[in-house]
Protein backbone atom coordinates (compact mmCIF):
# COMPACT_ATOMS: atom_id res chain seq x y z
CA UNK A 1 0.00 0.00 0.00
CA UNK A 2 1.01 3.60 -0.42
CA UNK A 3 2.21 5.59 2.50
CA UNK A 4 0.53 8.96 2.50
CA UNK A 5 1.86 11.92 4.38
CA UNK A 6 5.55 11.15 4.81
CA UNK A 7 6.65 13.42 2.02
CA UNK A 8 4.50 16.24 3.32
CA UNK A 9 5.22 16.22 7.03
CA UNK A 10 7.13 19.50 6.82
CA UNK A 11 5.10 21.29 4.20
CA UNK A 12 2.24 22.63 6.27
CA UNK A 13 2.87 26.33 6.81
CA UNK A 14 3.65 27.12 10.42
CA UNK A 15 0.93 29.40 11.64
CA UNK A 16 -2.40 29.47 13.37
CA UNK A 17 -5.03 26.95 12.31
CA UNK A 18 -8.02 28.30 10.44
CA UNK A 19 -11.43 27.69 12.02
CA UNK A 20 -14.80 27.13 10.41
CA UNK A 21 -17.25 29.98 10.86
CA UNK A 22 -20.87 30.32 9.79
CA UNK A 23 -23.93 32.33 10.61
CA UNK A 24 -26.48 34.82 9.45
CA UNK A 25 -26.66 38.49 8.51
CA UNK A 26 -30.00 40.26 8.85
CA UNK A 27 -30.50 43.68 7.26
CA UNK A 28 -33.37 45.53 8.95
CA UNK A 29 -34.63 42.15 10.15
CA UNK A 30 -34.61 40.50 6.70
CA UNK A 31 -32.04 37.98 5.40
CA UNK A 32 -29.38 39.97 3.55
CA UNK A 33 -27.88 39.20 0.14
CA UNK A 34 -25.26 41.00 -1.91
CA UNK A 35 -23.09 41.83 1.08
CA UNK A 36 -19.50 40.96 1.85
CA UNK A 37 -18.42 40.20 5.39
CA UNK A 38 -14.78 40.74 6.36
CA UNK A 39 -13.14 39.51 9.56
CA UNK A 40 -10.22 41.81 10.30
CA UNK A 41 -7.65 40.59 12.84
CA UNK A 42 -7.07 42.61 16.00
CA UNK A 43 -3.70 40.88 16.59
CA UNK A 44 -0.95 40.67 13.99
CA UNK A 45 -0.56 36.87 14.05
CA UNK A 46 -4.23 36.15 13.33
CA UNK A 47 -5.49 35.10 9.89
CA UNK A 48 -8.43 37.15 8.67
CA UNK A 49 -11.13 36.06 6.27
CA UNK A 50 -13.79 37.39 3.91
CA UNK A 51 -17.01 35.86 2.65
CA UNK A 52 -20.10 36.75 0.60
CA UNK A 53 -23.49 36.76 2.30
CA UNK A 54 -26.32 35.13 0.31
CA UNK A 55 -29.91 34.76 1.50
CA UNK A 56 -28.85 35.89 4.95
CA UNK A 57 -26.19 33.19 5.34
CA UNK A 58 -22.44 32.86 5.20
CA UNK A 59 -20.01 30.06 5.91
CA UNK A 60 -16.26 29.54 5.84
CA UNK A 61 -14.55 26.18 6.31
CA UNK A 62 -11.16 25.37 7.82
CA UNK A 63 -9.39 26.15 4.53
CA UNK A 64 -10.84 29.66 4.18
CA UNK A 65 -11.90 30.65 7.69
CA UNK A 66 -10.14 32.88 10.20
CA UNK A 67 -7.80 31.65 12.91
CA UNK A 68 -8.95 31.80 16.53
CA UNK A 69 -9.11 35.24 18.14
CA UNK A 70 -10.99 38.52 18.32
CA UNK A 71 -12.00 40.15 15.04
CA UNK A 72 -13.49 43.40 13.91
CA UNK A 73 -16.30 42.53 11.52
CA UNK A 74 -17.06 44.88 8.65
CA UNK A 75 -19.89 44.56 6.16
CA UNK A 76 -20.10 46.21 2.75
CA UNK A 77 -22.29 46.00 -0.32
CA UNK A 78 -21.03 44.10 -3.37
CA UNK A 79 -21.56 45.86 -6.67
CA UNK A 80 -22.92 43.28 -9.11
CA UNK A 81 -21.16 42.91 -12.44
CA UNK A 82 -23.14 43.87 -15.54
CA UNK A 83 -24.11 40.32 -16.40
CA UNK A 84 -25.49 39.69 -12.94
CA UNK A 85 -27.19 43.09 -12.97
CA UNK A 86 -28.94 42.29 -16.25
CA UNK A 87 -29.96 38.81 -15.06
CA UNK A 88 -31.52 40.22 -11.91
CA UNK A 89 -33.25 42.98 -13.85
CA UNK A 90 -34.80 40.47 -16.25
CA UNK A 91 -35.89 38.30 -13.34
CA UNK A 92 -37.70 41.33 -11.96
CA UNK A 93 -35.45 41.44 -8.92
CA UNK A 94 -33.79 44.51 -7.54
CA UNK A 95 -30.15 44.71 -8.55
CA UNK A 96 -27.92 44.25 -5.53
CA UNK A 97 -26.38 47.69 -5.77
CA UNK A 98 -29.67 49.18 -4.58
CA UNK A 99 -29.01 47.75 -1.12
CA UNK A 100 -28.83 50.48 1.47
CA UNK A 101 -26.43 49.84 4.31
CA UNK A 102 -25.45 52.27 7.04
CA UNK A 103 -21.83 53.35 6.37
CA UNK A 104 -20.75 52.63 9.96
CA UNK A 105 -20.64 48.90 9.18
CA UNK A 106 -17.90 49.53 6.60
CA UNK A 107 -15.38 50.41 9.29
CA UNK A 108 -14.25 48.54 12.39
CA UNK A 109 -16.12 49.15 15.61
CA UNK A 110 -19.74 48.32 14.83
CA UNK A 111 -19.48 44.51 14.97
CA UNK A 112 -17.09 42.05 16.60
CA UNK A 113 -16.60 38.30 16.55
CA UNK A 114 -14.63 36.09 18.92
CA UNK A 115 -13.54 32.99 17.00
CA UNK A 116 -12.79 29.98 19.20
CA UNK A 117 -10.50 27.08 18.32
CA UNK A 118 -11.87 23.65 17.46
CA UNK A 119 -15.52 24.34 17.92
CA UNK A 120 -18.62 25.47 16.10
CA UNK A 121 -18.39 29.24 15.56
CA UNK A 122 -21.82 30.60 14.69
CA UNK A 123 -22.41 34.35 14.51
CA UNK A 124 -25.68 36.14 13.90
CA UNK A 125 -25.15 39.73 12.83
CA UNK A 126 -27.82 42.42 12.65
CA UNK A 127 -27.18 45.42 10.42
CA UNK A 128 -29.36 48.42 9.62
CA UNK A 129 -29.86 50.47 6.49
CA UNK A 130 -29.88 53.74 8.43
Q: Are 75 and 27 in contact (CB under 8 A)?
A: no
Q: How much of the chain exceeds pLDDT 90, in percent?
A: 67
Buried-state track 21-36, b at ≥16 Cβ within 10 A, e below 16: bebbbebeeeebbbbe
- Read off the pLDDT of each residue in 37-55 and give the average, rounded to a whole number: 95
Q: pTM value?
A: 0.77
- 15 or 40: which leads in pLDDT: 40
In the prediction, which pLDDT does 82 show? 76
Q: How far apart are CA 36 and CA 47, in angstroms?
A: 17
- Domains of the chain (ranges plus CATH)? 16-125 (2.60.40.1120)
Mean pLDDT taken over the chain: 87
In tens, the pLDDT along 64-111 reads 999 999 999 999 998 767 787 788 788 887 655 568 899 999 999 999
pLDDT digits (tens, 9 = 90+) for 58-72: 999 999 999 999 999
- Looking at residue 13, its pLDDT comes to 60
Amino acid sequence: GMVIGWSCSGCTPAGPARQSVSGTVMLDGQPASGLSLVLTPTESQQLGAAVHVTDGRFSLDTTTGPSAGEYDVTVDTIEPDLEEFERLRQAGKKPLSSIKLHPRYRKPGALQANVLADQENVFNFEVKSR
